[in-house]
Amino acid sequence: MSAAYAVSDCWTMTRRELAHWARQPVQVVVGLVFPVMMLLMFGYLVGGGRTVEGDYVDFLVPGMLTLTMVFGLEGTMTAVTRDLDKGVVDRFRAMPMADGAVLVGRAAADMLQSTVGLLLMIGVGHALGWRAHGGPGAFAGAVGLLLLLRFAMLWIGIFLGLLAGRAELVQAVQILVWPVGFLSNAFASPDAMPGWLGAAVEWNPMSATATAVRDLLGGPGGEPGWIGAAVAWPLVLLAVFLPMAVRRFGRLGT
C-alpha cells in the first residue's frame, strides 16, 4: 500500500474521531473545562505556594499547563475500549486500510483536542494575570514541550486501552492518573516537601516538563538545563509504548 493511501486512511480515521465531537459535545466541553476549574481553584482558593519565590500564579500556570497534558488519559482509553467493545476495531481490521491507521487517527484527534485545551488554558492564565516573559521562540518551545509530553501520554493511554479491552477497567487507571499528576511540581516546589518525596517528584517526567516550561517562559521555579530532560522523557515513553501499542493492535483477534 502506497504512502498516499496510508495518509488517506489515517485522515479518514481522524475525521471519524472528530465526528464524535459533534455527537458528544458535553464530553468535549467537560474535558476542556475541568483543567480550567483546577487552575481557578488552585489560583484563588489554594494559592500562595510555599517556598515559591515571586508570583505564585506565574509558578502555577506552567504547572497547570503541564498537568493538562497528563489529565484526560482516561478519555483516550475509553475511546479505544469503546471501539473494542462494539467490534468496530475488528471491522476496520477486516477492511483494506493501512496498518495502524485507526491508532494514528485516534492520536491525531486527541492532539487536536489537546491543542485546543492548551490554548484555552493559556487564555485563562492570561486572564488571571500570568504573562509569558520569554520571547516568541521560547514560547513556541514551551508549547512544543507540552505537546510532546501529551503525545507520549496518549500513546500510553492507547496501549492501556488496548490492554484493558473493557471500559470498566478504565476506572482503575483513573485512580492511578491522579497520584502521578499530583506527585509533581505542578502546584508546589519540591523544596517544600520531605526529602524523599521531593526526590520522587523530581524524577516524575511531568516535573521535568513543568520546570523546563517555567524556565522558557521566565517564571519562578524554572531552572536552566531541564529542556533536555523534558525532551528525553517523552521520547523514552514513546519508544516504549508506541511500539507496544502497535504490536498489541496487531495481535487483536489472533
> Would you say residue 201 has pLDDT above 60?
yes
> Would you say residue 183 has pLDDT above 90?
no
The reply to whether 168 falls in a domain is yes
| 8 A C-beta contact, residue 165 and residue 84 | yes
The reply to whether 20 falls in a domain is no
The reply to whether 17 falls in a domain is no
Amino acid symbol at 91: R
**Cα separation of 80 and 69, whole Å?**
18
Q: How many domains does the chain have?
A: 1
Each residue of 94-110: pLDDT tens digit?
Answer: 666 666 777 888 888 88
The reply to whether 94 falls in a domain is no
The reply to whether 178 falls in a domain is yes
The reply to whether 217 falls in a domain is yes
Report pLDDT for 135. Answer: 86
> Domain range holding 126?
26-84+106-251
Q: What is the percent of the chain with per-residue pLDDT over 70, rounded to a whole number?
A: 69
Residue 155 makes CB contacts below 8 A (sequence gap 6+) with: 107, 237, 238, 241, 242, 245
Report pLDDT for 94. Answer: 67
DSSP state of 168: G
- C-alpha dihedral over 168, 182, 196, 216, to 10 degrees? 130
> Would you say residue 12 has pLDDT above 90?
no
Q: Locate cell 507496544: which residue?
A: 244
Q: Mean pLDDT across the chain, nearest whole number?
A: 79
The reply to whether 7 falls in a domain is no
Q: What is the percent of the chain with per-residue pLDDT over 90, rounded to a whole number?
A: 20
- Average pLDDT of 47-55? 60
The reply to whether 196 falls in a domain is yes
